[in-house]
Amino acid sequence: MKTVEIIGFKRANLGKKESKDLRAAGSVPCVIYGGKSQVHFHAPMILFRDLVYTPNAAFVHLNIEGQEFKAILQDIQFHPVNEMILHADFLELNENSPVKLDIPVKFLGVAPGVQKGGKLVSKMRKLTVKALPSEMPEFIEVDISKLELGKTVKVGELGEAKYNILNSPLVSIASVEVPRALKGKGADGEEEEEAV
């Protein structure tokens, strides 16, 4: 799993005014919990780019004035209008405690239904996974090489792994939709003639 480094600075005051001033200066107020104690800090907003504005999942290496933590981004709040990051919560990782993360889906193979003119539709770009940090996958591979026209691959069809997928087994991950042009054709692929 990829790791993103974020360098932070401890916060002296925790009031709303100080948070507002930090944001105005281009910093994000943050907290890390899950370890011996909570640490309130702030970090430059630009360092969140590779963590937030990407489809990939990542662990976080936090360096707060020399104190180092291995963590995950647990929660993040955005301004409703300008999408500015208002606050970030980090959870310190413990190698013996499972954590939950949204992991991107990666398709393997070519769907026969697509070769016949169908359209591959991705229904779930990420799946929620619970696993020990050492067994957390970077992405979940989904084999679509047997997906025919009108067929779907569901969460329950994925093989056994060292991690648990928390989404319902009945949820569709991807399907091959039959385009309108093919719907009007007969079973042999020839266009059916309308009775005159």
Give residue-wise pLDDT tens across range 51-94.
998 889 999 999 999 999 999 999 999 988 888 899 999 999 99
Phi/psi of residue 55, each to 5°?
-75, -15
Query: Average pLDDT, whole number, for the chain?
Result: 89
Neighbouring-strand partners of residue 151: none
The string of pLDDT tens digits covering residues 21-56 is 899 999 999 999 998 889 999 999 999 999 998 889
Within 8 A by CB and 6+ apart from 125, the residues are 55, 104, 105
Express each pLDDT in 145-167 by its tens digit. 999 999 999 999 998 888 999 99
Is pLDDT above 50 for 187?
A: no
Is the pLDDT score of 192 beyond 50?
no
CB 42 within 8 A of CB 22: yes
Residues 6+ apart with CB under 8 A from 114: 120, 147, 176
Residue 90 CA to residue 106 CA, distance in Å, equals 26
